[in-house]
Structure 1
Amino acid sequence: MTTKPEDSTKYVEELKEWINRQPHLPKNLGNNLLLRFAHSCYYDLEKTKKTVDMFFTVRGACSDLVTNRDPQSAHMQKVMKIINLSQYGISGNRWLWVWQLNDPGLENYDYISDVKFFFLSTDSNFLVSDNLPEEDIVMMDVKDITLRLLTKINLSVARRLAKYQEEAMPIRLKQIHVVNAPPFIDKIYGALKPFIKKEITEMIHFHPPKSDTLYKYLSKDDLPSNYGGTRPSMAELKEEVIENIARNRDALLDETLWRLVDKKKAESSIDSGSFRTLAID
């Protein structure tokens, strides 16, 4: 297990110096986020630099997903009513990210708004959180999923989102659990699998409704009450996420937050190889 080094400030300062030499990168990363990047890469500075670069590069290619996302807007309020998100620390210095859809028939579900809500909630967490988990675990409740989802997914966005989650987010992803998985989940998974790296697919565990297989990986003391756990319900946990987003609303609405400087202008003065074009469409 890798723990936070005593001289962790050294990593932050070295990253700051490197970022300052990269004209295409913005300079508005807080110390907590820089340390989180280093921690997520097990304090390998070269790997950390690549992850930071990818973080901004993918976000540059996803500008439509990190703008027009005011939590008070009608389209964001609509998605917040049908999706419960939670993110909190659990035993073993781990962090649990939970997504739960509450929209039988997918009458109100909008994939783009869902992805925007994801970016909004994770950005809000990264803005203020100083936690450095040893492991990050994702849990997705697909109880209301139907094959209609295949008509809702935007494959271009799904590809960009997968790239961001796999190579750019400052987390140590170790497990992905899909709970209440219906028999036809293989058809939906099959449509998305080409965008997912093999090492990520190996982390995915499917749990059918009414099964207890989830408890082989997560204690009931770590789970929301919806899943037989002792934690608050997903609806209650979502309120904490919404409150955190509301507190950081001004920063999250800033169009320059974690955005690339003019890429074309910067590329001419960037050291060879320091900026990698992202071909994801």
Structure 2
Amino acid sequence: MAENKSPEEIEQQMAQFKTWVNSQPHLPKDLEDKLIRRFLHSCYYNFEQAKSAAELFCTIRASIPELLNDRDPLSPQFQKTFKIVNLAQIRISGNRNLWIWQLNDPGLELFDYIQDVRLFFLSMDAWLLNEEHLEDADLVLLDVKDISLKFITKFNVSIARKLAKYQEDALPIRLKQIHLVNAPPFIDKIFGLMKPFLKQEVTDMVHFHSPKSDSLYKYFDKDDLPDDYGGTRGTMDDHMQHVMDVIISKRDILMKNNLWKAEKKNKNKSDAVKDSFRSLAID
């Protein structure tokens, strides 16, 4: 198993990876060692898979300036989003990461799907810049208590398709479970919007938990969950403050419009980045 590689073998892979990156003119040269290590780790040290993930990671990022440019966390636009969303990034038992998204906007009056995706990229990038610990599994908890059928009118198919590809095949994490808590009866209609973009292996990871259900505890010890979900790990407000602190600490880097983005391979092509993007079966 590649997981059993020695530290020396991993360092050798790291060196080979950096040599490969430097040999690719279109790839960015701002991939830090901890990010390269995370690509290798997330792919269980399969070198070719790690290269493919990193290539896709940088290529997709270059194709979505509307999500990655002009993202000052202190801007009114982001400050508005921070008021209706709580995020948590918690290391829990079993060397696992728990990612939580909690929406607090009952009427969906302030919710903006694209701005929410921008927040995902902002907070995830801050985490990648800040975190060096390598986890064995990543678990996602989405609190959909305030989601209504109005969400359908705010959904953006093009953005959702790119986001799904990025999360499934490019993001250097080990996604294992996705939990939707406080799921309303019509959640199947909302989930139906996403399902066409998701791989079967990802849809198989999804678990629904209705309001007041205790089914979540079949997957998590209460000591692993925030107080908001019957646990002992502090409040979501406190966790959001920590996420905000990390984002602000990395603000200068996060505001760089070219962070981890591939460049056009050939200036004679009208849009080489998008061509490469299409070749990776996005559309």
Q: Confirm whether residue 124 of structure 1 aligns to residue 126 of structure 2.
A: yes
Instruction: Give the share of equivalent positions with the same residue, in percent.
Output: 54
Assess if the C-alpha contact under 8 Å between 1:36 and 1:132 holds in 2: yes
What runs of 5+ residues in structure 1 fail to find an aligned partner? none
**Could you give the per-residue CA deviations for residues 189-231 of structure 1, whole angstroms, max 9, x where no partner exists?**
1111101110000000000000010011111000010000000
Structure-1 separation of matches of 2:112 and 2:189: 20
AA partner of residue 69 (structure 2): T
Measured in 1, the distance between the counterparts of 2:79 and 2:50 equals 35
Q: Which letter maps to 1:196?
A: L
CA deviations 1:130-189 (Å, max 9, x no partner) are: 010000001100000000000001110011000000000000000000000000000011
Matched, 1:201 2:187: no
Q: Secondary structure at the match of 1:137?
A: strand
1:160 counterpart letter in structure 2: K
Corresponding position of 2:117 = 115
Tell me the equivalent position of 1:245: 247
List 4+ stretches of structure 1 deviating above 4 A. Answer: none
Give the one of 19, 44, 47 matched to 1:45: 47
Specify the code of the residue in structure 2 equivalent to 1:152.
K
Name the residue aligned to 2:76.
Answer: 74
Amino acid at match of 2:7: E
Aligned mates of 1:200, 1:275 — CA distance in 2: 21
* Cα separation, 1, equivalents of 2:69 and 2:223: 37
Mapped to 2, the partners of 1:75 and 1:3 lie a distance apart of 45
State the partner residue of 1:10.
12
Q: Do the aligned partners of 1:176 and 1:204 also contact (CA within 8 Å) in 2? A: yes
Contact 1:177–1:207 at 8 Å: present in 2 too? yes
The code of the aligned residue for 2:216 comes to L
Deviation for aligned residue 1:255: 1.4
Aligned residues of 1:54 and 1:168 also touching (Cα < 8 A)? yes
- Which residue is 1:217 aligned to? 219
Shift of 1:4: 6.7
Cα distance in 1 for residues equivalent to 2:12 and 2:123 = 29
- Any conservation in 2 of the 1:24–1:266 contact (CA below 8 Å)? no
1:159 aligns with 2:161: yes
SS at 2:141 equivalent: strand
- Report the residue type matching 1:227 in the other structure: Y
Q: Give the TM-score taking structure 2 as reference length.
A: 0.94
Label 1:52 to 1:105 Cα distance change in 2 as closer, same or farther (>3 A).
same
Distance 1:225 1:266 in 2: 56
Q: Report the AA paired with residue 192 of structure 1.
A: M
3-state SS of paired residue (1:105): coil
Extract unaligned runs of 5+ from structure 2.
none
- Mark the CA change 1:195 to 1:276 in structure 2 (over 3 Å): closer, same or farther: closer
CA distance in structure 1 between the aligned counterparts of 2:187 and 2:210, rounded to whole angstroms:
10
- Structure 2 residue aligned with 1:23: 25
**One-letter identity of the residue aligned with 1:18:** W
Classify 1:275/1:9 alpha carbon distance in 2 versus 1 (closer, same or farther; 3 Å): farther
Q: Secondary structure at the match of 1:189?
A: helix
Match of 1:63 among 55, 62, 65: 65
For 2:181 and 2:47, the matched residues in 1 are separated by: 36
Query: Contact (CA 8 Å) 1:57, 1:278: kept in 2 or not?
Result: no
